[in-house]
Amino acid sequence: MVVSTLIATGVFSAAFSLPGGNNDNTGSPNYLEKASFLVFALSDTMALISSTSSILIFLSIMISRYGEEDFRRSLPLKLMSGLMMLFISIISMMVAFSSAFFVTYYHGLKWVPVFIAVLAFVPIPIFVFLQFPLWSDIVYSAYISSSLFRSSKRMIR
């Protein structure tokens, strides 16, 4: 939840401090016509929406009533969807960073923004590598092995 909040804070502030600045006469962004600015705007919006959704999902886990049925279906589904929304927000944040870098620094050497954009995507496989065991354990325990722990109405068959 802390990571989602940090992402939401960063992309919210990036939405109002546009790359390239604003035109003093019209107030519109300087690079409004560039395709990379459109990619920045869309990915920044997607990052804000997905990180806010992740915050709300993790918050709903924290205020859950923790009943027996919640541990069986509701909480694992919420945790998996929260992790998925967090993953989408990290990807969208990296795309927004890369496109902002393209908007701002594509005037000089052409290989520098490409190199920085490639380096910006390094955290994504690290996140997948670190979180996939948790995600797969949740899927296995909640949906694959859940038939082992179903309550039956009769004690003796």
pLDDT digits (tens, 9 = 90+) for 96-149: 988 888 888 777 777 888 888 889 889 899 989 998 888 888 888 877 775 555
C-alpha 96, offset from chain centre: 12
Q: What's the pLDDT score for residue 120?
A: 87
Q: Which fold has domain 1-16+29-153?
A: Butyryl-CoA Dehydrogenase, subunit A; domain 3 (1.20.140)
156 band by pLDDT with thresholds 50, 70 and 90: low
Q: Percent of the chain scored above 90 by pLDDT?
A: 25
Q: What's the pLDDT score for residue 157?
A: 54
- Give me the numbers of helices (H) and strands (E) for the chain, helices first please: 6, 0
> Is residue 78 within 8 Å of residue 140, measured between CB atoms?
no
The pTM of the full predicted model, rounded to 2 decimals, is 0.80
